Amino acid sequence: MSRIRSDASASIAIAGAWGYIGRKFLDAALARGLDVSVYDPGPAPADVDLDRVQRIDDEDAFYRLDADLFHLAVQPEHRRLDRLLARDEPLWILDEKPMVPPENPGRCDAIVEAVDRSQCVVLYDFPELYDPLTARLLDHLGGFREVRIHEIHVERSKDREDPTIPRNFKRMVPIQYQESVHCLAFVLWILAHRHGSAAAALADGLRLQAQSEPYTPPNPEIYPRPVDGRCDYVLEIGDIRVEGRTNFRRGAPWSKRRVIRGVGDGRPFEVDVSYLEGRKSLRIDGEDQPCDPSADSYAQVIATFARWAGGANREALMRGLYPNPRFTRLAYRLSSALWRSSRDRAEVRFATVSDLASYNARYPNGWPHIHAGSRPL
């Protein structure tokens, strides 16, 4: 069934290719010699060699392309996932986060249902889940006959307020949805793999408490209301304590770090991973492990997607333990719970995975970028 290939004969179609993430995938695809088509109505960056890409000016034509992989690297209100799902053929789609705008949580359910009705495979872009470092981490944990995780530390931060960085003028949603969701997806991924499923990982319940600070953008005029730029939080998942920090405030360190501590076969262990581009590392029990610090996360997403697509059927990819819409909905609900806990300064609890999957944080409506007409998936 799979058309996805990681070799130079593969093709990729990228919506939003001039944006931050879209450009990362564009560069990764070109470096691998892939056939690249792009749709982005904005001006092309001066350093993009347009002779190496097929630029599609018409949005409808883009969604009719014959490509091995589509990547929708645009804000959720501009994605037209529905057009791909309606093609009645087995397309392969990589989608960006956030899954939906914060104020429209019901669209998570609509996406899950629409993908189920289609022939498509839709996975979401949480780069750390595709990274070989994560597979090595899981292999290490799987090497114990008996293992118990006691604590997880997750940190993701960068200076998103510095006006000298052009990227900082791009609109962002609250940091819980923008960045914390990556950390929460990582925690769900690790624990679900250890227990066999997300439901089993959350069988003993979950509670969380968070606090936040507002973001000070260099262009406040594009924000109809303040959004959070830093969030510190604690999750208790059964007897596992998760401490997290996501920080976009001025002067924040550039970090994508994960630390897991526990006991394996009666002995304490610690796995410390950095996913920061150009500074990747893996340490186990204080010892540096072989690692390419410069490995391209976005090229690895493409390669891992191809490997998964070649090794599992659609049913497994859409209902099993992959970053599919069901898994991503759980991560989205957790990020929305962080926002609600921050706002109310109160603990949020979930007794079961079903409680989490149906959670509505009641994020306020009113963002002007949401159109009153038809809403694309």
Q: Give the whole-number percent of the chain exceeding pLDDT 90.
A: 89
Residue 305 CA to residue 123 CA, distance in Å, equals 8
Residue 323 CA to residue 186 CA, distance in Å, equals 10
- Is residue 5 pLDDT above 70, yes or no? no
Instruction: Give the CA angle between residues 332, 214, 258 to the nearest 5°.
Output: 50
> Please, what's the b/e burial string for 258-295 (b: 16 or more CB within 10 A of its CB; e: otherwise)?
bbbebebeeeebebbbbbbbeebbbeeeeeeeebeeee
Mean pLDDT of the chain: 93
**Section 157-168 average pLDDT:** 95
What does the pLDDT read at residue 371? 30
Q: Which tokens in the block code for residue 360?
A: 């509505």
The string of pLDDT tens digits covering residues 89-115 is 999 999 999 999 998 999 999 999 999
What does the pLDDT read at residue 9? 56
Task: Give the distance between the most distant pair of CA atoms in the chain.
Answer: 61
The string of pLDDT tens digits covering residues 274-298 is 999 999 999 999 999 999 999 999 9
> Please, what's the b/e burial string for 57-66 (b: 16 or more CB within 10 A of its CB; e: otherwise)?
eeeeebbebe
**Which of 303, 301, 338 is closest to 323 using CA atoms?**
301
Cα first-last separation, the chain = 24
The string of pLDDT tens digits covering residues 203-249 is 999 999 999 999 999 999 999 888 999 999 999 999 999 999 999 99
What does the pLDDT read at residue 7? 56
Instruction: Give the CA angle between residues 353, 300, 297 to the nearest 5°.
Output: 85
Q: Which tokens in the block code for residue 320?
A: 């099993």
- Is residue 159 pLDDT above 70, yes or no? yes
Residue 149 CA to residue 130 CA, distance in Å, equals 22
Confidence of residue 362 (pLDDT cuts 50, 70, 90): very high
Q: Answer whether 0.85 is exceeded by the pTM.
A: yes
- Is residue 377 pLDDT above 80, yes or no? no
**Section 137-162 average pLDDT:** 97
The string of pLDDT tens digits covering residues 322-348 is 999 999 999 999 999 999 999 999 999
What does the pLDDT read at residue 69? 96
Confidence of residue 376 (pLDDT cuts 50, 70, 90): low
Domains in the chain: ranges and CATH: 11-125 (3.40.50.720), 128-295+324-357 (3.30.360.10)
The string of pLDDT tens digits covering residues 29-49 is 999 999 999 999 999 999 999
Inter-residue contact 283 to 289 (CB < 8 Å): yes
What does the pLDDT read at residue 30? 96
- Is residue 368 pLDDT above 60, yes or no? no
Inter-residue contact 289 to 177 (CB < 8 Å): no
